């Protein structure tokens, strides 16, 4: 048996004549690369919206702020062990943790100003 396995088809819909069995498909030239556009621009909006997201990190919402934070190494290791999105999970847990603090700040602000329109959410 040969140590080199024959490459598999990328999908069941790829025919033998459309599959590059011998690796002779040339690389794209600089001119060809220059004519390419991002999928967001080249595809109809409904088709692009149906594509799965390829990014590993969720898009930041407008109210998020990039910060540098020092955490205990065991905290970071535990969250990283949960897989992709671990930073988002830290944010969710911190958001839950500040709710009591936010309520206390809200009460103090109302009592010191006499107004209730300065809420911390």
Residue-wise pLDDT for 59-71, tens only, equals 666 788 888 999 9
Evaluate whether residue 7 is within a structural domain: no
What six digits make up the tokens of 18? 């459309």
Do residues 60 and 67 touch, judged by C-beta distance below 8 A? no
Evaluate whether residue 65 is within a structural domain: no
Please indicate, yes or no, whether the overall pTM of this predicted structure exceeds 0.75.
no
| Per-residue pLDDT reduced to its tens digit, 24-47 | 777 888 999 999 999 889 999 999
Evaluate whether residue 8 is within a structural domain: no
Do residues 5 and 21 touch, judged by C-beta distance below 8 A? no
Are residues 77 and 108 located together in one domain of the fold?
yes
Q: Which domain holds residue 39?
A: 16-50
pLDDT of 6 over the 70 cut: no
Are residues 78 and 46 located together in one domain of the fold?
no
Tally of structural domains, the chain: 2
Evaluate whether residue 33 is within a structural domain: yes
Are residues 109 and 77 located together in one domain of the fold?
yes
């Amino acid at each position: 048996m040969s140590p080199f396995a024959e490459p598999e088809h990328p999908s069941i819909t790829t025919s033998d004549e459309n599959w590059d069995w011998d690796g002779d498909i040339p690389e794209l030239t600089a001119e060809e690369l220059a004519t390419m556009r991002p999928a967001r621009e080249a595809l109809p909006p409904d088709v692009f919206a149906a594509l799965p997201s390829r990014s590993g990190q969720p898009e930041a919402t407008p109210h998020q702020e990039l910060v540098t934070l020092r955490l205990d190494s065991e905290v970071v290791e535990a969250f990283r062990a949960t897989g992709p999105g671990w930073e988002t999970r830290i944010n969710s847990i911190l958001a839950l943790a500040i709710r009591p603090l936010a309520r206390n700040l809200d009460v103090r602000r109302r009592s010191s100003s006499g107004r209730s329109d300065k809420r911390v959410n």
